[in-house]
Chain A
C-alpha cells in the first residue's frame, strides 16, 4: 500500500529530525563566541547582558535550553532572532520565496537540459555531439560555482549587457505587475544557469550512461526488431529505465543545491536565505541558524521521500510494502 508506505516513511522522519536537532543544537552552542555580545553590542554593561541572557533563556543550562527549544519547535515556534528581534519563521518566510524560485528554476533547468542532452548524446555514443556533451559536462562539473558566477557577471552580464549584473529587481526602477515579473525573470536567468551548471553536467552524464547501458539489453533489441524508429525506442523504452538513477541523483542533490544557492546568492546579491545563513553564522544568531538547518534538513528528507515515490511511478515493478 502506497499510503501505508508514505505514513511509515513519514514516521522515519521523526527520529531523523530529532537527531539533526540534537547535533545542530550542540554544534552551534559549542562554537566559540557569546551571542549576547552580538545582541547587546560591543560595549554593553553587565546588567544589560544579564537582562538579555535571561530574556533569551541563555542563562539556563544547555539541556534546559534544548528541551524548551524542541517544545517550541513542536508547536511550530522557531523562536526569535537574537540580532534582529524578529520571529525566525517570519525571517525565513521573507527569504524563502527568492531561494525557492532560484532553486526550483535551477532544478527544472538542470533536469530538462541534463536529460535532453544526455539522451541526444546517447544516440551516437562517442560521436562528435557525445564528445562535446561529455567534455563540456566534465568541465562545468569541475568548475567551482563562485568562480563561474563571477565569470558570468563579468563576461556575460557586464560585457554583453544581456542580463543584469546582480540583484533580483532593478534598483532604480520599481516595476509592478508583468513588468515586475519580467524584471525578476531577467535577473533570474544568470544565477539559475550558474546554479544549474554542475547539475546539468551530472544529469547529462548519468542519463547518457544509463541509456547506453539500457540500449544493449534484450527489450531494446526486441523493440528495434518490431521496426520502431530509433527515437521511439530511445524515448519510450530505454529512457524510463535509464532515468531511475537520475531520479535518485535529483533527490540527493537538493541538499547540494541549497549550499550552491548560498554561494550564488552571495555573488549575485540574490535576496534569499543564503545571505540569511551567512549573516546568522557571523552574528552567532542561534535561533536563525537552527531554524534554517531544520528547514534544509526537512527539505532533504522530503526530497528523498519524493524520490522514492517517483521511482515507483517510473518503474511499475517497484512496489513498496
Chain B
C-alpha cells in the first residue's frame, strides 16, 4: 500500500550537507515531465505570476532557487531523492490512495465459493457488531436515570464511493501553540481540537441519538450506582499495531486524566468520587466509586476522557515528553507529521468501525487569522471550520452562500453547554485563606470591602444589559442565560423569575441605598472618600476582553468604574492568586450539573485549580443541596434540588450568568456526515462528494 500523505511528509528541516547536484536532480527530472502534467491548474493553464512585472518574477524565481538550494522549506530528503518515482502521483490526480487501495486479485482455480461467502458473512458480522447500540444494563436499584443509548455511526455506500478525499480543517492556533498532542493530560481546547481525531473515549455522544459505545461495547451499572462494569471492544488495535486492553484504560485514568497535570474537568469531578479502577480481564474494566456517581456515562467521550496507550505513554505523561509529539491512538485518523504549516493524518486502515473513516486523511492547517479561515472555506481550500465567527455568519457572507452549510451546537473542545459568567470575588482581593492548595487552607478570608455587599452585586447585575452583550458580541447567536444551569440540561434547568433584568434605575437606587451616594469629577460614585471602582480580569485574547469593554461602558452609566485587566496569565492571577474583584469565566456545564456546575458553587471547590469556584462562595445550605442532589435516586426529586440550588444561587448572586454560548461549525455543502456536536470524532463518518 502506497501512502500518499506519509511518503510526502515535510516534518523536520532538510538535512544540511546534501550536495547541490542532488538537490537539482529532481528539478531537472520534473522539467522533463512538465508536459504530461494535466492536474495542477496553477501553472499549466494559467501564467503563474499574472500581473507581476517580469523583473519581479525573475527576482522571486531567484529567491526561490536560493531557497531550494539551501533546502529551507523544501521537500524532505526522501521526496527529494525520489523525485522521479513520485511523478506518477502528481500527474494522476491522487491515483495513489492511502488505506483503501483496491487490488484486483484473481481467484485461485477451484476456490470454493463458500470461502467468499464466509468472508462476506464475517464482514456482515463485524459491521453488525460495530453498529450495535451501547448495551446498558443495571444490577439492582440504581439511584439515577441512565442516559439514552444511541446508535454509532456506520459507513454508507456514498462513504465508500467518495473515500479518496482528504478533509482539510483550519485551526485557529499557530503550530507553536499546539505544544503537544496528548489530550489526556490537559483540557486545553486547541490541543483537544488538534489531537482528538486520533483518539477515542470509552463512549461517545451524539445529541440526536444519545450515548453510544466507542472503545467500550457494554456497561453494567450496579451496587446502587457505585460500580460501572465496562466490556471493552475486542480486536481494537493501537496505531502501532499493539492490542488495546483494559490496562490502557486504567493507565489513562490513573496516570494521565486524574494524574498531574491531568484533565481539569474530569479530574475535578471524578478524582474525588473514585475509589479505584479494577481490570478483572483484558477486556473488562470496573470503576468503583465511594458513593453513587451519576454523570460518569456522560463524561467518557474523547473530549472528557480520551484513552491513551500505556505501552507508549507510561512514564511519559508530562507535556514535554516525546510521545506527546508523535501520538499513538486508536482513532479514525493516525498521525503522520506536524510541521509549522499543518498536522497531517492518514486514515487508520485498521479502525474498529468497518469501512470508516470515509476520508483518506485529514489535514489540520494552521491559519491564525479567522478572516482568512472564512475566506479559505468560501473558496473551498478548507472543508471544515470548527468555529465560524459571528460576524461572518450573516446573509452577506457565509449565511447567504449556498456552497457553505452552517450548523450550531452548544459544545466544543472546551466542553459542552457553556455559560459566559461574571464572577464576583466575595473575599478580599488577594486573600487566599481558605483556598485548597493555597498557603492557608484552614483559614477564613476577609470579606471583599465592596462586593461582599449583596446590594452592590445586585446593582451591577441590574446595570448590565445582557441582550446587548448577546447581540453585539455574539451577533445574537446563543441566548441570554435564564438560569444558573444551562437550558441544554433540560431536566435540571429551572428559569429564575428572580434573575435580575436590565434596569439601570433600580441599579442606581440600590447603590444609593448601599451608601454610594457621592460622585467624583468623572461621575464615579463615592462612599465617603472611597470611589466605587472594581477591576475585571479576563483572558487577553478571544471575546472576553470585548465583554469587559461592553460591561465597563454599561456600568459607567450607573457610576461604577470598572477597570478591565486582560491578562496573559489569567488563570494564575484569578484562580491561584485570587487577585481580582470581578472576572469573566466561560463555565461549561457539561451534560450533567455535577460535571460542570458543581465546581462553581461547592465550598471545597475554592482551590488553586483553574475554572473552579471563582467567587470564593461558601454556603453550608448550598453544599447540602448539592449533596442531596447527588444522592437523590429519583430524577424528578433531583430536579427539585437543582431548582433549590438555582434559586439560592440567584438569591446570593455570587455570579451573574450572562449568555449561553453556542458554537457554529461551517463546512462545504458537498460534504455530509459530519457530526457537528462531536468535537473529536466529527469526521468519523463524513465524506465529500467530489
Contact = CB atoms under 8 A, between A and B. Distances in A.
Contacts of B10: 174
Contact of B262 (A43, A47, A157): A43
A90 B29 CA distance: 31
B619 interface: no
Contact of B365 (A44, A167, A186, A281): A167
Given A32-B569, A185-B49, A188-B60, A283 B177 contact: yes
Contacts of B40: 173, 175, 179
Contacts of A164: 42, 381
A39 B31 contact: no
Interface stretch (B122-130, B367-375, B414-422): B367-375
Contacts of A58: none
Contacts of B188: 41-42
Contact of A171 (B29, B59, B365, B569): B365
Given A175-B90, A177-B75, A157 B63 contact: no
Contacts of B79: 176
Nearest to B25: A177
A269 B372 contact: yes
A168 to B, nearest CB: 6
B264 interface: yes
A32 B580 CA distance: 14
B261 A42 contact: yes
A43 B261 contact: yes
Contact of A40 (B55, B63, B261): B261
Contacts of A41: 185-186, 188, 261-262, 319
A177 B83 contact: yes
The interface centre, meaning the residue of A37, A42, A167 with most chain B CB atoms within 10 A of its CB, is A42
Nearest to B365: A171
Interface string B407-436: 000000000000000000000000000000
B319 A165 contact: no
A150 interface: yes
Interface in A6-49: 31-34, 37, 39-48
B90 A179 contact: yes
A235 interface: no
Interface stretch (B200-208, B278-286, B339-347): B339-347
Given A33-B572, A282-B177, A108 B59 contact: yes
A171 B174 contact: no
A144 interface: no
Contacts of A136: none
A157 B375 contact: yes
Interface in A138-188: 150, 153-154, 157-158, 161-162, 164-169, 171-186, 188
Interface in A186-201: 186, 188-189, 192-193
Interface in B430-444: 437
Given A34-B572, A177-B26, A186-B42, A101 B63 contact: yes
Nearest to B50: A162
Given A83-B179, A282-B541, A180 B74 contact: yes
A278 B43 CA distance: 34
Contact of A284 (B64, B569, B571): B569
B376 interface: yes
B568 interface: yes
B394 to A, nearest CB: 15
Interface string B47-73: 011111101100111011101101011
A271 B175 contact: yes
B176 A280 contact: yes
The DSSP consensus for interface residues of chain A is: helix
Given A182-B48, A282-B177, A98 B365 contact: no
Contact of B567 (A32, A94, A174): A32
Contacts of B631: none
Contacts of A310: none
B81 to A, nearest CB: 10
Interface residues of B, number: 94
Interface string A40-65: 11111111100000000000000000
B376 A165 contact: yes
B248 interface: no
A279 B177 contact: yes
Given A268-B372, A269-B367, A172 B166 contact: yes
A109 interface: yes
Interface in B569-622: 569, 571-573, 609-611
Interface in B332-352: 339-342
B168 A177 contact: no
A120 interface: no
Interface in A87-111: 90-91, 93-98, 100-101, 104-105, 108-109
A259 B215 CA distance: 48
B13 interface: yes
A165 B379 contact: yes
Contacts of A101: 63-64, 67, 72-73
A72 interface: no
A34 B569 contact: yes
B264 A278 contact: no
B560 interface: no
A85 to B, nearest CB: 3
A278 B68 contact: no
Nearest to A162: B50
B363 interface: yes
A263 B83 CA distance: 35
B366 interface: yes
A112 interface: yes
B291 interface: no
B8 A174 contact: yes
B260 interface: yes
Nearest to A168: B341
A91 B325 CA distance: 14
B17 to A, nearest CB: 14
Contacts of B320: 39, 84-85
Contact of A43 (B72, B267, B340): B267
Given A171-B381, A177-B26, A177-B83, A44 B260 contact: yes
Contacts of A285: 176
A70 interface: no
Contacts of B173: 279
A136 to B, nearest CB: 15
Interface in B314-335: 318-321
A4 to B, nearest CB: 31
A270 B264 CA distance: 33
A296 interface: no
A215 interface: no
A189 B52 contact: yes
Contacts of A188: 60, 64
Nearest to A169: B341
A150 to B, nearest CB: 6
Given A100-B72, A101-B73, A179-B40, A266 B369 contact: yes
9 contacts: A33-B568, A33-B569, A40-B261, A42-B187, A105-B59, A172-B168, A176-B80, A269-B369, A269-B372
Give 5 nearest A-B pairs by CB, closest first: A97-B72, A33-B569, A41-B261, A85-B320, A279-B176
Given A85-B319, A181-B74, 7 more contacts: A48-B260, A113-B53, A171-B363, A174-B10, A192-B60, A275-B340, A281-B568
Interface of A: 31-34, 37, 39-48, 83-85, 90-91, 93-98, 100-101, 104-105, 108-109, 112-113, 150, 153-154, 157-158, 161-162, 164-169, 171-186, 188-189, 192-193, 266-269, 271-272, 275-276, 278-285, 288
